[in-house]
Structure 1
């Protein structure tokens, strides 16, 4: 008969049983993770906004085609617009004339020369 000690008879450690701990993120931890994700996104969006609308240079020259009209005495810009573009709304023509000629208002004086876009040419 063989004698075994109680220490030798004890079962080996059960390796199939693994203790898992659950990861818990605190409110401060969630804020830190959100900041770490948000900072690169903000940097990329900021870079795109600052560099997004660049002008492209080309070798073609732009041409602004227009003719000149001289305002007669007592003539208003409404009358000029009605003469040069009878089928168009005078308000649109006046807005284009004021913009093209860089006028401070819609008032014109006799003898003033106005640039007229070719789309409205007589």
Structure 2
């Protein structure tokens, strides 16, 4: 060998073997392990999710509702108390929020709401 090929071979032979520092080992081994653990936790949460609609179509039930128009000065608490006085108002308010996809706990006069009857 002569010329550039000879110099390249000499340079490669003179380089010491690659050594990983402590930080390099952490990066090479630790980060993939953390990512794997996050993936496994995500999958575990997905497969063990308690949210389950129903085992069969016959088990499904429709929540009976009525439509209520919000009057001036009326709140979700007042509506919940007048519709279902025998139930805990917190549960009824939570049902109203869920049925109507409300992001805030406030309502406006004239707004139409679906309210559970039981």
User: Which bracket does the TM-score occupy, shorter chain normalised?
Assistant: 0.3 to 0.5
Structure ID, larger Rg: 1
Question: Given the two structures, how large is their TM-score scaled by the length of structure 2?
Answer: 0.48
